Amino acid sequence: MEKNWSNRPHDIQVCKNLNKALNISPIICQLLSQRGIQTFEQAKTFFRPKIENLHSPFLMQDMTKACDCLINVIESKKKVMVYGDYDVDGTCAVSMFTLFLQKLNIQCVSYIPDRHEEGYGISIKGIKEAKRLKIDLIISLDCGVKDFKAADLAHSSDIKLIICDHHLPSYELPKAFSILNPKRNDCSYPNPNLSGCGVGFKLMQAVVEKMNLEYEFLYSFLDFVSISIACDIVNVTGENRILAHFGLKQLEKTDHVGLKSLLSLCGLDKKIESGQQIDFQDLGFNLGPKINAAGRLGHAMQAVKILTSKNSEEGLAHAQNLNELNTNRRFYQNKVVEDIRLYLLNNPEFKEKCAYVFKSDQWHKGVVGIAAAIISEEQHKPCIILASNNGVLSGSARSIPGVDVHKAISEGEAFLERFGGHQAAAGLSIKEENLNAFIKAFETGVQKQIKHIIPKPEITYDAEITFDQLTKGFYNVLKQMGPFGPGNNEPLFVCKDVYDTGLSYVVKKEHLKLKTQQKGALKSMQGIAFNQAKSYQKIQKNNTFSLCFSLKENYWNNRSSIEMMVKDIQF
């Protein structure tokens, strides 16, 4: 699908000032300007994050109360339940906090709800299990801020509840002992964009400070925080960038046996051994999906068992099980995607719709969210995919820029059993007999926003560049701008007047391996264009074209080269 390209704006005078102060590439100065960096001091802070610049945890509302409660539990050796969500953020948070308490010799149990039976959040079943186990304190991580009934049950059962969450709360808050959430209206914590695991880490930081424990003990858990930031796609700016930066360094030397097993399973141990750095792409596309597979196809406690493993044999055995689940996840996910692609091919009139809703009783509920994201991106339309189970349809929605899918779904809220989410993604369940009425309402909600015209997909690139400027030195500075994510997106570049050297070829019928030259440039560049094999014929005909791409370092036979990760090709 043809995309519109637009150049991210920048302040020319700021770029000149930075170039004078830093004496680095003008294009790097442009990238800094686009990220709000205007002075030498700001650039220094950006390129050289300092762990001591983490905010005081006691700036967070309820932190003193939560910290004193947890220290009291630690000193009196009471029982704790560490409760969390079933995604990467939640399982990393539960694993981190469990290991933290175990190192303080606290008796604790980990609990993750069953995705399909209990659903999202603190469940009544979980509170009843805590009561059965005579738990004194529940610490919920990455969930809880909207779980009023569960909080009421915990309160009436004389179980203290500390909620550590980062999701947007309602106007009212649950009846918990304390609620740590930087998005609370009455909270003035400077970083509202912590991950759920990040909020848990701030509670640990408060305990370490108040008990005068060694900071190195605290920092040893930053590996979990970096994974949560990468996989939950939270802003990588300010404090989050500090946590991510030092978390990645900690991950490369981690002492956590379970994480070592997962790194080995992903082949990332070899990357570390060769002196390469782990980045957010490794976590988001390699390690994260394996952790997530447990909650999607099995039970997320399998992921926690790996991440809290005490010996390498046990960790590796659990990790191999996760790998098998992830393989199955890909199989089920691909079935959903291929079924929908085939349906669209055989029903071309369906493509006229402004939004898609698909359902089947043959699809696995745990993978419909990923499938919806793939179809939404391919077709550039909001998409809902539902899996049927005993007359009730449950599933996920994904959207495109410019369409608030949560708002569109709310047009048909009267027909739903439950739903929740945000602008880009949502979850919902509906009785089968209400589906047609809901689809009409949902499509109306989308039409109101787009005025019957689906906007073209857009790519916003950072800078136009030449092949000769893509040097190893340039890339080494670029790497120091990471980790990349929301708020600090990976830079995208555009090169014009590019042509094929005659050595480009198609890979696996879908992808394009490029070997290209640029008019007026001395050097050639290689690249990979995923899912763009359709451009091969045009490239062969000696057409010149423009490439939009990010950069990646490729290692082969102990030698490194810079390659283009091509996002789009324009002729």
- pLDDT tens column, 303-318: 999 999 988 777 777 7
End-to-end CA, the chain: 13
Instruction: Confirm if 46 and 186 have CB atoms less than 8 A apart.
Output: no
| Cα separation values, 236 from 191, 231, 515, Å | 11, 12, 33
Looking at residues 231-241, what average pLDDT do you find?
A: 93
CA angle, residues 104, 55, 151, in degrees to nearest 5:
60
Looking at residues 47-75, what average pLDDT do you find?
A: 97
CA distance 21 to 5: 31
Q: Are residues 113 and 73 in the same domain?
A: yes
Q: Provide the CATH number for the domain around residue 387.
A: 3.10.310.30
CA distance 295 to 293: 6
Looking at residues 184-189, what average pLDDT do you find?
A: 95
State phi, psi for 469 to the nearest 5 degrees.
Answer: -85, -10
Looking at residues 174-184, what average pLDDT do you find?
A: 96
Give the model's confidence band at 66: pLDDT under 50 very low, under 70 low, under 90 confident, else very high. very high
Instruction: Confirm if 78 and 136 have CB atoms less than 8 A apart.
Output: yes
Contacts 24+ apart (CB under 8 A), 393-396: 393/359, 393/429, 393/430, 393/431, 393/432, 393/435, 394/365, 394/427, 394/428, 394/429, 395/359, 395/365, 395/368, 395/369, 395/427, 395/428, 395/429, 396/368, 396/369, 396/372, 396/425, 396/426, 396/427, 396/428
- Predicted local confidence at residue 455, as pLDDT: 73
Given 257, 289, 322, the domain boundary residue is: 322
According to DSSP, the residues that pair with 140 across neighbouring strands are: 83, 163
Q: Are residues 412 and 353 in the same domain?
A: yes
Q: Are residues 317 and 410 in the same domain?
A: no
The mean of the pLDDT values for the chain is: 93
State phi, psi for 227 to the nearest 5 degrees.
Answer: -65, -40
Given 419, 450, 481, the domain boundary residue is: 450
Give the model's confidence band at 78: pLDDT under 50 very low, under 70 low, under 90 confident, else very high. very high
In a domain, 358, yes or no: yes
Give the model's confidence band at 168: pLDDT under 50 very low, under 70 low, under 90 confident, else very high. confident
- Predicted local confidence at residue 451, as pLDDT: 79
DSSP one-letter code for 287: I
In a domain, 474, yes or no: yes
Residue 116 has pLDDT above 90, yes or no: no
Give the model's confidence band at 557: pLDDT under 50 very low, under 70 low, under 90 confident, else very high. confident
pLDDT in tens, 279-297: 999 999 999 999 999 988 8
- pTM greater than 0.85: yes
pLDDT in tens, 246-271: 999 999 999 999 999 999 989 999 99
Compute the half-sphere exposure of residue 25: CA atoms within 13 Å on the CB side of its CA. Answer: 18
Q: Are residues 226 and 355 in the same domain?
A: no
CA distance 244 to 484: 10
Q: How many domains does the chain have?
A: 3
Residue 351 has pLDDT above 90, yes or no: no
Q: Are residues 479 and 513 in the same domain?
A: yes
In sequence order, which ranges of 266-403 are alpha helices (DSSP H)?
268-273, 280-282, 288-297, 301-307, 312-346, 368-379
Residue 170 has pLDDT above 90, yes or no: no
Looking at residues 102-112, what average pLDDT do you find?
A: 95
- Predicted local confidence at residue 423, as pLDDT: 81
In a domain, 332, yes or no: no
Q: Are residues 360 and 304 in the same domain?
A: no
Q: Are residues 441 and 471 in the same domain?
A: no
- Predicted local confidence at residue 469, as pLDDT: 96
Angle between helices 238-252 and 196-210 (to 10 degrees): 80
In a domain, 339, yes or no: no
Print the domain residue range for 422.
Answer: 347-450
In sequence order, which ranges of 451-495 are alpha helices (DSSP H)?
472-479
- Predicted local confidence at residue 244, as pLDDT: 97
In a domain, 340, yes or no: no
Does residue 483 have a cis peptide bond before it, meaning omega lies within 30 degrees of 0?
yes
Q: Are residues 44 and 58 in the same domain?
A: no
Q: Are residues 417 and 466 in the same domain?
A: no
- Predicted local confidence at residue 313, as pLDDT: 77
- Predicted local confidence at residue 452, as pLDDT: 67
User: What is the residue type of 265?
Assistant: L
In a domain, 334, yes or no: no
Q: Provide the CATH number for the domain around residue 527.
A: 2.40.50.460
- Predicted local confidence at residue 317, as pLDDT: 77
> 209 CB contacts (<8 Å, ≥6 apart)?
57
Give the pairing type, strands 559-570 and 545-556: antiparallel
Contacts 24+ apart (CB under 8 A), 290-293: 290/262, 290/265, 290/266, 290/319, 290/322, 290/323, 290/325, 290/326, 291/88, 291/91, 291/92, 291/227, 291/231, 291/262, 291/322, 292/87, 292/88, 292/231, 292/329, 293/322, 293/325, 293/326, 293/328, 293/329
Give the model's confidence band at 245: pLDDT under 50 very low, under 70 low, under 90 confident, else very high. very high
In a domain, 327, yes or no: no
Backbone dihedral region for residue 69 (phi beyond 0: left; psi -120 to 50: alpha; all else: beta): alpha
CA distance 357 to 393: 12
pLDDT in tens, 415-469: 998 787 778 888 888 999 999 999 999 999 999 998 767 778 899 999 999 999 9
Q: Provide the CATH number for the domain around residue 137.
A: 3.90.1640.30
In a domain, 241, yes or no: yes
Given 450, 475, 510, the domain boundary residue is: 450
Burial zone of 391 (CB within 10 Å; 0-12 exposed, 13-18 middle, 19+ buried): exposed
Q: Tokens in use for 142?
A: 């990455």
Instruction: Confirm if 283 and 231 have CB atoms less than 8 A apart.
Output: yes
* In the block, residue with structure tokens 């920048």: 10
CA distance 536 to 566: 13
Task: Please tell me whether residue 366 adopts helix, strand or coil conformation.
Answer: helix
CB atoms within 10 A of CB 265: 21
Residue 141 has pLDDT above 80, yes or no: yes
Q: Are residues 127 and 268 in the same domain?
A: yes
Q: Are residues 61 and 86 in the same domain?
A: yes
- Predicted local confidence at residue 460, as pLDDT: 95
CA distance 69 to 63: 10
Residue count of the chain: 571
Q: Are residues 417 and 366 in the same domain?
A: yes
Instruction: Confirm if 361 and 387 have CB atoms less than 8 A apart.
Output: yes
According to DSSP, the residues that pair with 529 across neighbouring strands are: 512
pLDDT in tens, 480-499: 999 999 899 999 999 999 99
